[in-house]
Amino acid sequence: MAQSIADRRDQDFLLHEVFNVAELSKHEIFQDFNKKTIDMVVTEARNLAIKEILPTQQDGDQNGCVLKDGQVSTPESYHRAYKLFCEGEWVALCDAPEYGGQGMPKVLSMAAAELFSGANCSFLMYPGLTHGAGKLVEEFGTEEQKKKYLKNLYTGKWAGTMCLTESQAGSDVGALTTSAKKNQDGTYSITGNKIFISSGDHDLTENIIHPVLARIEGAPAGTKGISLFLVPKYRINEDGSSGHRNDVDCTGIEEKMGLHGNSTASLAFGSRGDCIGELLGEENKGMKAMFVMMNEARLGTGLQGFGFATASYINAVNYARERIQGTDLMKMFDKDPQSVAIIKHPDVRRQLISMKAHVEGMRSLIYYVGHLFDKARVAEEGKKKEKYKGLIELLTPVLKAYCTDRSFEVCTQGIQVYGGYGYIQEYPQEQLLRDCKITSIYEGTNGIQAMDLLGRKLGMNKGKPFMDLLGEMQQTIAGAKEIKSLEGMSSMVEKAVNRLGEVAMHMGMNAMSEKVLDAFAMAHPFLDVTGDVCMAWFELWRAVVAAGKIEKAKKKDLPFYQGQIKTAQYFITYVLPATLGRMDALQSNITAIMEFPEEAFA
């Protein structure tokens, strides 16, 4: 059975029928991206993903990366795929053409990234981190630094990483010990060790640029004293070419549960006393700069998790249609019952519609946030632009945490549909599950994302972004109420949205009172119900669009639109009531977690 990665029809539905992305072409900066161009980009991305990147997935998993004589080798198949990826200018899709970018809408870049990530996330991490490093240079670099680094990064000629984590400083970045000493020529000598560095060393490019967090000698303790430096693997000559080796060594690569095709490295900076870096941005402002990359990475991580889920779902659907096993329940007492495809069995259909509902809901959330970036770019300075930016900030921890948690669940169901075959390496499902797990851990664990939502984003700007989100949901509900067939579902979603507002106020007040620890003990469940209500909102929105299309739909499109209505019905009438129950629990002030005696944990 051939593997697949995503539902093109659903991608088109969101891009053209729900979000009407081609309307962005009315604005000068996106004038080249009409419907025809959007379709061409998705088609080309899909071709590259399926024909060139997907075949590297198993090779990356089985052969992995190898460290030998101080050099890391990536799986052989990655080299051709990387060359084609760079030739197609896929590294910097949304960025300025003058630096090697394509200047496309972010929502379109997310549609392409979904395909690439679903094909092989381990591979996509190499150019993905490269883009993140380039974004740092574009945002905080001097003109000289932009000239030196940016085009080489955005074209994929050089690679990039993100060097934050140390053995004693994971989520607590302020505890890092890597140091920087200023030299007479304005450069800095860097000394320290970093661990868990994705794409930390490899042989895909001629140079690797490491953005490194370090503390300048004499700087304040904690995050206030952290600065950001650019440390190349090979020093850069006056003419811009790569010169002799810098004092940056890969001391090991991790043996991981998944993502074997990506080199997760331990790096030693200055072990021979000769590691040279240059300051990026201002002294002691490194965390502010790094959050630019981290926020991009958090959205990217949510998309990574989703990529695994959508691939697992499509594989499961195709397998369920082809796998003949058991008889139709309605014919099991026939004299000679025939075996049927397992998609006929009620429990398999239950699993598939659950996978479908979450995959399509997550795709909607991801594309919606991408579209917010685009609308913010074309909006004039003022309330609209600030509204879009506020929604992006609010939804970033939800997208990262909810999508990665639910994607792991979808991948688990994807194995279950295959039965025993899902558990063995002959089929792709078990790898997708293993690879998916890290997405809920790195770039800020999902517990940290929940704390960010409750502690920072909920009360941001006096709660306006959260109220704006509820307002967006209410607009969809109002439209749904005008469609008779959706009246019942719209009422249920309205109830959930109103309850979410009440729960958010309750949680926010507790977080600022003597109940603060109890509130943060429930931060993750609060993020979870917020994500569920977002899913219900998008399912209803999709149903509104589909309901308006059914009457005049072509025969080939009718099942798709009918499926949208039924998917929404499943989620809103089955999943959402459980969400309402969990919201009741959140308002009951759960104290057992913090009152539990530590000694009783065994």
CA 196 to chain centroid: 18
**What one-character-per-residue DSSP string does 94-155 give?**
TS-GGGT-----HHHHHHHHHHHHHHHHHHHHHHHHHHHHHHHHHHH--HHHIIIIIHHHHT
CA 503/CA 297 separation, integer angstroms = 29
Neighbours of 217 (CB within 10 A): 11
Half-sphere exposure of 398 (CA within 13 A, CB side): 28
CA 526/CA 500 separation, integer angstroms = 9
Determine whether 553 is exposed, middle or buried from the number of CB atoms within 10 Å of its CB (0-12, 13-18, 19+): middle
CA 53/CA 115 separation, integer angstroms = 10
Dihedral angle computed from the Cα positions of residues 290, 292, 298 and 300, in that order, rounded to the nearest 10 degrees: -120
Question: How far is CA 564 from each of CA 294, 567, 570, rounded to the nearest angstrom?
Answer: 34, 5, 10
105: left (phi over 0), alpha (psi -120 to 50) or beta: beta
Please identify every residue annotated as catalytic. Answer: 443
227: left (phi over 0), alpha (psi -120 to 50) or beta: beta
End-to-end CA separation in angstroms for the chain: 46
Number of alpha helices (DSSP H) and beta strands (DSSP E) in the chain: 19, 14
Residues 6 or more apart whose CB falls under 8 angstroms from that of 150 comprise 99, 100, 134, 137, 138, 141
CA 476/CA 465 separation, integer angstroms = 17
